[in-house]
Amino acid sequence: MNRAYPMSPHQRPLSPAAANLLELGKLGAIVGVCGAGAHNLRRLQREEIEPAAALTDTLRVGVASGLATATATLVASAFRPSPLLSLVATLATGTAVMYALTQEPTATGDDHAQ
């Protein structure tokens, strides 16, 4: 048995691209949690939100931010030869994913009501 091998023999290491995507997703989640946490802390101080709701919202935005970062990175990689197109793809994808994942339900529970 080789004890120098850092993982079980049944695990496969991630490819460099997948590992990079995972790291960027974690970074996006950290940034999202920090931003949402600061926002919700102000809401707590103004007594606009309950502590449990603030925590739930902070975690929800953090997860959405991590997914948006990873997705935007993946899409932008298709436009690597063009820095401008890569930037536009990153912004458009990140915005679309955050928009989709952070929708607030309406009072009737129908998210598509006008």
Residue 110 lies in a domain: no
Cα–Cα distances in angstroms (integers) from residue 69 to residues 5, 12, 25, 41, 45, in the given order: 32, 24, 5, 23, 29
Residue 6 lies in a domain: no
Total count of domains within the chain: 1
In this structure, what DSSP letter does residue 74 have?
A: H
Residue 89 lies in a domain: yes
Residue 7 lies in a domain: no
Q: What is the pTM of this model?
A: 0.77
pLDDT of residue 113: 46
pLDDT of residue 11: 73
Residue 72: which domain range?
16-101
Residue 22 lies in a domain: yes
Residue 83 lies in a domain: yes
Residue 66 lies in a domain: yes
Query: Which tokens sit at 110?
Result: 């129908």
pLDDT 10s per residue in the chain (114 long)? 555 556 666 677 889 889 999 999 999 999 999 999 999 999 999 999 999 999 999 999 999 999 999 999 999 999 989 999 999 999 999 999 999 998 876 655 554 444
Residue 113 lies in a domain: no
